[in-house]
Amino acid sequence: MKNYSFVPFYKTVLTDGFWKDRQKLNADVSIPNVYKRFKETDRIDCLYPWWKRPLSHSDLFYDSDTAKWLEAAAYVLHANRADYPELEKSCDEVIELLKKRQQSNGYLNSYFQRRPFLPKFHSRPDHELYCAGHIMEAAVAYFQATGKDALLSVAEKYADHIRDRFMIKQNTAFSTPGHEEIELALFRMYEATGKEKYKELAEFFLNKRGTVKEKTYRTFYDAYDQHEIPVRELSSAEGHAVRAMYLYCGMADMARISGDDGMLSACKRLFDDACKKMYVTGGIGSDYNGECFTIPYDLPNRTAYSESCAAISFMMFCRRMLLLEKDGRYADVIERIMYNNFLSGVSLNGKAFFYENPLEICRTDLTRSRTVIKRPRLPQWQRQEVFKCSCCPPNINRTVASIGDYIFTENETETVLHQYVACESDSLRVETNYPIDGKIIVRGQGYGKNLFSVRVPAWCKDATLSLNGKKVAVFPEKGYVTLKVDPDFTLELTLDMNPFFIKTHPLCRENRNKVALQRGPVVYCLEEKDNGDIVPLAVVGSGPFTETENNLTPLPFIDVQGKELSAGATYYEGECDAKERTLRFIPYYAFGNRGESDMKVWVPLA
Amino acid sequence: MKNYSFVPFYKTVLTDGFWKDRQKLNADVSIPNVYKRFKETDRIDCLYPWWKRPLSHSDLFYDSDTAKWLEAAAYVLHANRADYPELEKSCDEVIELLKKRQQSNGYLNSYFQRRPFLPKFHSRPDHELYCAGHIMEAAVAYFQATGKDALLSVAEKYADHIRDRFMIKQNTAFSTPGHEEIELALFRMYEATGKEKYKELAEFFLNKRGTVKEKTYRTFYDAYDQHEIPVRELSSAEGHAVRAMYLYCGMADMARISGDDGMLSACKRLFDDACKKMYVTGGIGSDYNGECFTIPYDLPNRTAYSESCAAISFMMFCRRMLLLEKDGRYADVIERIMYNNFLSGVSLNGKAFFYENPLEICRTDLTRSRTVIKRPRLPQWQRQEVFKCSCCPPNINRTVASIGDYIFTENETETVLHQYVACESDSLRVETNYPIDGKIIVRGQGYGKNLFSVRVPAWCKDATLSLNGKKVAVFPEKGYVTLKVDPDFTLELTLDMNPFFIKTHPLCRENRNKVALQRGPVVYCLEEKDNGDIVPLAVVGSGPFTETENNLTPLPFIDVQGKELSAGATYYEGECDAKERTLRFIPYYAFGNRGESDMKVWVPLA
């Protein structure tokens, strides 16, 4: 196995363009605003011993929310510490609170420490290990960003305590986390500190999982949190999608770090299966009930759960798989998520977030019955600043801030370019306006390896490539073209960015005879705002496409020929009435930014 | 207004063919079996004063179940008394129990009489007036069938008591029925006895409805039981579908009997609206939550509620409208229901019943998530012998037994043939094998009117007509061809019975780019039993059609060219893989008679 390592975001400074703008908004607006809302909702103050308020269920997740925000802030500081002294001050204050709150034995959980009468690690569904994992991730990030080790010490002490209770003494009421995350965090601790004990604890949790009967959730089967069978035997992506993907991240880490081939095979099977359960936006977990995976191609649009965190966790898993295999399918999925389900999770002004990301909004779903008081359960149609369980906003914060992690992987002989983001590292510079246009220039200056690989996305039918001005034939192997390069080189990749219509596998009942519009990696949608009532609309399913600049997004709106259908009867033979008209598509990620509006990604063919 | 009266079933003896067979099965198997199950579930014994069992909510409906069964039995006796002495004995026993149970003041309700501590007519949702209405309908039917007036006396005494409490003293906790039905029953009592007071009470309830604030259902809005606005102002079919249609029946009765034009206009508007909320099978009430109407063209297939009783009540409303207007749309809807949603309600062996009639069964809906213990709410996929609230089985019983009511209407100058059923009356004989073939011969012998009208269904593109062997041009007016006839005449109508594909209005989101197969009035469906996995199947959308005789139904199975689709990826451009194959369609009403099987009416176009 010829592993790769990733080139971390702080070695690849984003220079300009699409993602640089996003990062600036994230650092200047989103992260401060999430902090403000967390303050207002007691997520910070709950760390004070004097803090009192009736406990609510959502308080369970508070430490993980805070930790993810800290992690996001750490990435901002890592890239640009001088510009954010206030942010660093806020972080240090929160870290001080965490440090003070930690018990002498290492235990740290704001929820359970407010319930001293209850034993710790007693209730598996109560997210203690999940919160602990996020504290560890934040600790590593903050240490790497600032060199300050206060939080890392807290995290290590807590990890040691967990190791003592779960692995050494085994005196806890359950054996494995009810919500995975700590496994990948422990591997991260291991890689940051070099301490074997964290790797061993991660392996312990992974090896144990599915081998013991756990006292756990009442409303879910064991597949819900993936403890039905030993993890190396998994082949179907099942259960709570975020839990599943965090687990798979840990498994992929173990495959790479511990050289565990059983884990690698399972990860490959799980990736293949998850791709059959993935929305065109990259969203996963189609069912709100359990926030879970269902069966292949079961992808309802209006009730799509498709949680922002699930999309992010799928990106994280794919990034880890890219360290194990140079296979463009992983990078293609990352790209699909990055520009669609991930970006849709945050409003264009950076202040508000989606937890769920539906693929269709039909507001009459809420008013279709004038008789029943209890309304159907549907996703929210407008982004919110904070949620009771507010996992998604800081998860988006930390991922935007570290999006540079997804650009390159490397090993001794080659660097691989996965995502086209304008950036520069020591000896490489990527110039691009992608995904606004399809031209990507990579310049090597004193590049120290013989090979350079560049991904050609599966969606792209026409790519041209030149090296030092000379055209190179494009025959990608598993999605990549690998070139022999000199220390100084100029590579130019041009991707055809003409819009195109795609279809879903015929086993997806909901999307039969419907198409979605895609331009590059960006999926488009119809909004009522531009089109009036979208229910009777249909597309012809081919061009021409007219692109229009607009004030909403740097990407063009796309106008295309369509029809507005009507009929004189409920049932009829032959053809219905059709009025020719133009349909206006906008990027999916931008929907819901101009007030409530019906929306759909999958549009019936005329 | 030139009203019609209907020619009741007992004046039009069914001779042979499709419906005669159904009636025999109904009388010999269904009605005895429903009685048996009602005995076993205490519906009869609960009328004994000594009967004890913890009360359950479903006991509320018991008297209406029993009464509807009695009404069905009465129709069997009316048509064929000599052959069913045992049935008459059972009826007389039940009637004796009802008579004994009736309080001296006339009150009669097995549920509330077991709760003597509770005041009567105190809780509007508790179905007392609904049960009373069904007792009245049964009483009229049994009196007309046998000449025995024991039950009619009970019903009259109860009606007088209700009139005294609701109309004279007005000392009840509510003013109008929580579940309509008594209005149409009171008009029926009026027409059977000639006593004005019953008509006045019916009018009282109808006039009062929607004009007073009622203390009523907690989980529903006032539209649920149609008391939001005065009934003459109604224009949208809203709320619980059975309640709505029983109300509209009462309104149509009032339009005809009391000459109330406001009621007539409302009924016409409500019919138009209901047609937009009607499945292709004639089913109505698409939402199980509230068993209610939603918005036009909101017709989900897999969760279709489409209750058997709702379909029957729509037939009843349409029959009443035909007495007010010779408009083929009413008869077309009756026919659509008769051969589809109505017939599907009972198994081919006559023993089991559907409450709900889905238009698609996809059994993975129940197993799609392996993680969530609480399963989604879906219709049952196999018919049951009895339900807790078992309104549908005896409703089907009584409707099959009196299906002859739907054949003709008449006035002084003409008789109108609405449904093609082999039968004979005094001076008319209909010979037909419909809907197996499309030939209908009507013979007049000493027919005493000048005009005879025959319906040409809207679904029929090619009808030929001859009178006494001479071809007549077919130019239907509002769905009917009216001919001047002699006392002796022979009319021959031939309807093109070639199968055809139909589509749904484009505002029906679920059926875009799908077709349903229809042959004559019979809607067809695909069953997994004949086709294997039906999810990947698609139809080309045109013939040729191959008809095959079979042991399941007298109607042919229909084979047609289709495709089985597959794809190598979740998302793809261009065309997917398609294997040509034959799809076998069976009549919708016969689905679910060969064990559990996936099924669908609306099939995607290839």
Q: Is A366 on the interface with B (CB under 8 A)?
A: no
Chain A segment 446-475 residues within 8 A of B by beta carbon are 461
**What is the rounded distance in angstroms from the CA atom of residue B405 to the CA atom of residue B320?**
11
pLDDT tens digits along B26-64: 999 999 999 999 999 999 999 998 888 888 888 999 999
Q: Residues B243-256: pLDDT tens digits?
A: 999 999 999 999 99
Contact residues, B window 228-287, toward A, CB-based 8 Å cutoff? 238-240, 275-276, 278, 280, 287
Query: If contacts are CB pairs under 8 Å, which of residues 139-158 in chain A contact chain B?
Result: none
Separation CA A387–CA A308 (nearest Å): 13
Q: Is B378 on the interface with A (CB under 8 A)?
A: no
Residue B391 among the catalytic residues:
yes
Q: Which of 383-402 (A) contact B at CB < 8 A?
A: none
Helix axes A328-337, A261-275, angle to 10 degrees: 50
Per-window interface: B 39-78 vs A, CB < 8 A: none
**Pairing verdict, β B414-417 and B451-455:** parallel
A467 is written with which tokens? 């090296």
Query: Closest approach of chain B CAs to the CA of A279, in angstroms?
Result: 9
Instruction: Give the three-class secondary structure for B131.
Output: helix
B170–chain A Cβ distance below 8 A for any pair: no
Return the CA Rg of chain A: 24
- Check B71, B137, B291, B431 and give the catalytic one: B291
Calculate the dihedral angle through the C-alpha atoms of A531, A533, A536, A540, rounding to the nearest 10 degrees. 10
Q: Are A485 and A467 in contact (CB under 8 A)?
A: yes
* CA A14, A247, A330, A253 torsion-angle sign: positive
Task: Give tens-digit pLDDT for A67-94.
Answer: 999 999 999 999 999 999 999 999 999 9
Which residues in chain B have their CB less than 8 angstroms from residue A541's CB?
A: none
Nearest CB to B287 within list A369, A500, A507 = A369
State residue B1's pLDDT score. Answer: 43
Q: Give the pLDDT band (50/70/90) at residue A568.
A: very high
Question: Closest to B502 (Cβ–Cβ): which among A275, A538, A573?
Answer: A573
pLDDT tens-digit readout, A33-45? 999 999 999 999 9
A191 assigned to active site: no
Chosen for mutation from B216, B228, B369, B577 (greatest number of chain A CBs closer than 10 Å) is: B369
CB–CB of A239 and B298 under 8 A?
no
Q: Which of B362, B349, B154, B383 is nearest to A294 (CA)?
A: B362
Q: Give the span between the Cα atoms of A86 and B533, in whole angstroms.
A: 62
Separation CA A452–CA A441 (nearest Å): 13
Instruction: Select the residue of A374, A376, A509 nearest B535 (Cβ to Cβ).
Output: A509
Binned at pLDDT 50, 70 and 90, residue B577 comes out as very high
Question: Distance from first CA to last CA of chain A, Å, rounded?
Answer: 50
Q: Is B307 exposed, middle or buried (0-12, 13-18, 19+ CB in 10 A)?
A: buried
Question: 3-state class of A167 per DSSP?
Answer: helix
pLDDT for A480: 98
Which residues in chain B have Cβ-Cβ distances shorter than 8 Å to A569?
505
Res B2 pLDDT > 70: no
A488, pLDDT greater than 50: yes
Residues in B closer than 8 angstroms to A370, CB to CB, are: 221, 223, 238-239
Whether the CB-CB separation of A99 and A107 falls below 8 Å is answered with: no
Q: Collapse the DSSP code of A481 into the 3-class scheme (helix H, G, I; strand E, B; otherwise coil) and give the result.
A: strand
Q: Does B221 touch chain A (CB under 8 A)?
A: yes
- Substitution target in A286, A370, A371 with the highest count of B β-carbons within 10 Å is A371
As for the ipTM of the complex, it is 0.95
Q: Which two tokens stand for residue A454?
A: 């560049």
- A339-357 core/surface letters (b: 16 or more CB in 10 A; e: else): bbbbbbbbbbebbbbbbbb
Asked if residue A19 lies in contact with residue A433, where contact means CB atoms within 8 angstroms, the answer is no
pLDDT in tens, A424-456: 999 999 999 999 999 999 999 999 999 999 999
For residue range A449-478, what is the model confidence (pLDDT) as tens digits? 999 999 999 999 999 999 999 999 999 999
Q: Which residues pair with B453 in a beta bridge?
A: B416, B482
pLDDT at residue B452 in the model = 98
Decide if A505 and B220 are in contact by the 8 Å CB cutoff: no
Q: Tell me which H or E stretch contains A365.
A: helix A364-367
Indicate which residue of B249, B318, B391, B508 is catalytic.
B391
Tell me the pLDDT band of B218, cut-offs 50, 70 and 90. confident
Res B216 pLDDT > 90: no
Chain-wide mean pLDDT for chain A?
A: 96
Q: Which residues of chain A are within 8 Å of residue B496 when distances are taken between CB atoms?
A: none
